[in-house]
Amino acid sequence: MMLVLLDVQITGAIQNVPITSIDDRKNYIFGHNTSRYADTRVLDFIHGSSFQFQNFCKSIKASPSSTCIYCETEEDSPEHQLFYCYALEDITRRELLSNIKNPKDFCCEIMFNDTESRLHIHTLLYKRVEFITSINVNTDLSFSD
């Protein structure tokens, strides 16, 4: 199997800035020196389509409930785990909340804030996601009939 990497010029819709190379280190969405594993976990929180979130599992009928597996009281979602779940309380959550104006729209703030603020939010987001994914909850995420 051979993979072909195409270098296609893409124009950013919001800032109208041409991105000419996949390896243009000035235009990374995420911080430098992060692992592929960490980037993947953060992307799970951005798109929300992950077995980590019970609202997603219920939507594809992989779980009978959309209740958070950590606090077992609220409906689960990326926003719930990042900002509202009392069972996942840590100092990074409070700091992240104080730096994000609207938790429901946190993706826009991650991508479109000024550079200094965005980098600080990225760092906090990575720390928060690392904390959440370090908690091992024994759940069966297999599909049921």
Q: What is the mean pLDDT of each run of 10 residues along the chain (145 residues)?
A: 38 42 51 78 89 89 91 93 93 91 82 75 90 73 41
Q: What does DSSP assign to residue 10?
A: E
CA distances from 99 to 27, 32, 48, 79 (A): 22, 20, 21, 15
Cα dihedral 57, 82, 36, 116, rounded to 10, equals 150
pTM: 0.69
Question: How confident is the model at residue 103, as a pLDDT?
Answer: 86
How many whole angstroms separate alpha carbon 2 and alpha carbon 122? Answer: 34
Question: How confident is the model at residue 71, as a pLDDT?
Answer: 93
How many whole angstroms separate alpha carbon 141 and alpha carbon 110? Answer: 29
Question: How confident is the model at residue 111, as a pLDDT?
Answer: 75
27, 14 in Cβ contact below 8 A? no
Question: How confident is the model at residue 21, as a pLDDT?
Answer: 41
Question: How confident is the model at residue 28, as a pLDDT?
Answer: 54
CA distances from 57 to 34, 66, 78 (A): 28, 7, 12
Question: How confident is the model at residue 81, as a pLDDT?
Answer: 94
Question: How confident is the model at residue 122, as a pLDDT?
Answer: 85
Question: How confident is the model at residue 37, as a pLDDT?
Answer: 84
How many whole angstroms separate alpha carbon 71 and alpha carbon 3? Answer: 43
Question: How confident is the model at residue 31, as a pLDDT?
Answer: 59
Question: How confident is the model at residue 86, as a pLDDT?
Answer: 93
The residue among 56, 142, 60 whose CA lies nearest residue 68 is 56
Question: How confident is the model at residue 92, as a pLDDT?
Answer: 92
Amino acid identity at 125: L
